[in-house]
Amino acid sequence: MSGEALVFWIFAGLTLGSAFVVVLSRTLIYSAFALLVTFFGVAGLYVLLGADFLAATQLLVYVGGILVLLLFGVMLTHRIYDLDLRSETTQLGSGLIVAAGLFVVLTAVALKTEWPGLARMPAPTTAAIGRLFLREYLLPFEAASVLLLVALMGAAMIVRRRRSA
């Protein structure tokens, strides 16, 4: 087994194992911390795929931003003295059938299709991504920044306590 394969299997096991915990754990805070491991595993896979900029972004935005936000969500929507932070599960049987069917179909498509083999050699990507953002993809880039601004302002407006009008 080559070194690349070994690293791939380690990160794949880390990602999928912690994703299992996220989905099936009965304690909400365990799910949140397992999600941390999942994000780290995906960042490792990005490094393995030669996407260095994306791996750093994954760590900064997901682990540093989204996960902290989710932890705030966990803590603010449960009374803290209520230590029993359970998350109930419904319709486990039908949900399992749908998810397993989806997995089988996606795997069959991935394995049966002839993919074009245009491999790109791993190289530093940050400068190239920056150039693409400011030339070919300038309009989507600006649209994304406006979207982010509007969404954050909207979020602040929604949670604001309204005066009784």
Partner 1 sequence: MIGLQHYLVLSAGLFALGMLGLLTRRNAVNVLMSIELILNSANVNLVAFSRYASGNLSGQLFAVFVIVVAAAEVAVALAIVLTLYRLRRTPNLDDASILKG
CB of 165 to partner 1, least distance (A): 16
> Is residue 154 part of the contact set for partner 1 (CB under 8 A)?
yes
CB of 91 to partner 1, least distance (A): 6
Amino acid at 12: A
Query: What are the structure tokens assigned to 115, written together?
Result: 């993919």
Q: Which residues contact residue 36 at a Cβ distance below 8 angstroms, ignoring those fewer than 6 apart?
A: 18, 63, 67
Of the residues 4, 139, 163, 165, which one makes contact with partner 1 according to CB under 8 A: 4
CB of 74 to partner 1, least distance (A): 5
Q: b/e per residue, 121-139, with b = 16+ CB within 10 A?
A: eeeebeeebeeeeeeeeee
Of the residues 10, 122, 138, 142, which one makes contact with partner 1 according to CB under 8 A: 122
Of the residues 5, 80, 139, 165, which one makes contact with partner 1 according to CB under 8 A: 5
> Taking a C-beta distance cutoff of 8 angstroms, is the pair 74, 28 a contact?
yes
Of the residues 80, 84, 140, 165, which one makes contact with partner 1 according to CB under 8 A: 140
Q: What is the full DSSP assignment across 113-142?
A: S------------HHHHHHHHHTTTHHHHH
Residues 40-99 that bind partner 1 (CB under 8 A): 42, 45-46, 48-51, 53-54, 57-58, 61-62, 65-66, 69-70, 72-74, 76-78, 87-92, 94-96, 98-99
- Which of 83/158 has CB closer to partner 1? 158
Identify the DSSP state of 63: I
CB of 85 to partner 1, least distance (A): 9
